[in-house]
Amino acid sequence: MANTILIGMQWGDEGKGKIIDVLTAQADIVVRSQGGNNAGHTVIYRRVKYVLHLIPSGILRRGKVCVIGNGVVVDPIALLAEIDGLRKLGVKINKNLLISDCAHLVLPYHRMLDEQRELRRGRIGTTKRGIGPAYGDKAARTGLRMSDLMQPIVFSKKLQAKLIENNRILQALGAKPISFREVNESYLAAGENLRPFVANTVVYLHRAIERGKKILFEGAQGTFLDIDHGTYPYVTSSNTTAGGACTGTGVPPHRMDRVVGVMKAYSTRVGEGALPTEDAQLTQMLHSLGREFGATTGRKRRCGWFDAVATRYAGMINGIDELAITNLDGLDHVDPIRVCVRYRLNGKPLDVPPCDASQLANCEPIYEEMRGWNTPTRSARKFSQLPSAARKYVKYISKLTGAQLTMVSVGPARGETIVL
Binding site for ligand IMO (CB under 6 A): 8, 12-13, 38-41, 124-127, 129, 131-132, 220-222, 225, 236-237, 270-271, 295
The CB density around residue 21, as the number of other CB atoms within 10 Å, is 25
40 vs 58, beta carbon nearer Mg ion: 40
Task: Decide if 224 contacts 310 (C-beta within 8 A).
Answer: yes
Q: With CA atoms as reference, report the closest residue to 37 among 68, 75, 3.
A: 75
Q: Rg of the Cα trace of the chain? A: 21
Instruction: Give the distance between the most distant pair of CA atoms in the chain.
Output: 65
Q: Which 390-419 residues touch ligand GDP, going by CB under 6 A?
A: 409-412
Residue 408 and residue 263: Cα distance in Å, rounded? 10
Catalytic residue chosen out of the listed positions 13, 21, 114, 329: 13
Contacting residue, 18, 53, 104, 158, with ligand GDP by CB under 6 A: 18
Q: Which 294-353 residues touch Mg ion, going by CB under 5 A?
A: 295
Q: With CA atoms as reference, report the closest residue to 179 among 158, 159, 152.
A: 159
Q: Is 229 a catalytic residue?
A: no
44 touches which of ligand GDP, Mg ion, ligand IMO, none (CB within 5 to 8 A by kind)?
ligand GDP
Smallest gap from residue 345 Cβ to Mg ion (A):
30
Is 13 near Mg ion (CB under 5 A)? yes
**Amino acid, res. 318:** N
Is 219 near ligand GDP (CB under 6 A)? no
Is 226 near Mg ion (CB under 5 A)? no
Contacts of 249 (CB under 8 A, 6+ apart): 31, 33, 67, 69, 70, 71, 201, 202, 205, 217
Residue 104, H or E segment: strand 104-105
41 vs 229, beta carbon nearer Mg ion: 41
Q: Which residues of 258-278 are buried (b: 16+ CB within 10 A; e: fewer)?
A: ebbbbbbbbbbbbbbbbbbbb
- Count of residues that bind Mg ion according to CB under 5 A: 3
Mark residues 262-301: x for contact with Mg ion by CB under 5 A, - for none.
---------------------------------x------
Contacting residue, 4, 6, 37, 40, with ligand GDP by CB under 6 A: 40
Residue 186, H or E segment: helix 180-194
Q: Is 41 a catalytic residue?
A: yes
Residues of this chain that bind Mg ion (CB under 5 A): 13, 40, 295
Residues of this chain that bind ligand GDP (CB under 6 A): 8, 12-18, 40-42, 44, 295, 326-327, 329, 409-412
Residues serving a catalytic function are 13, 41
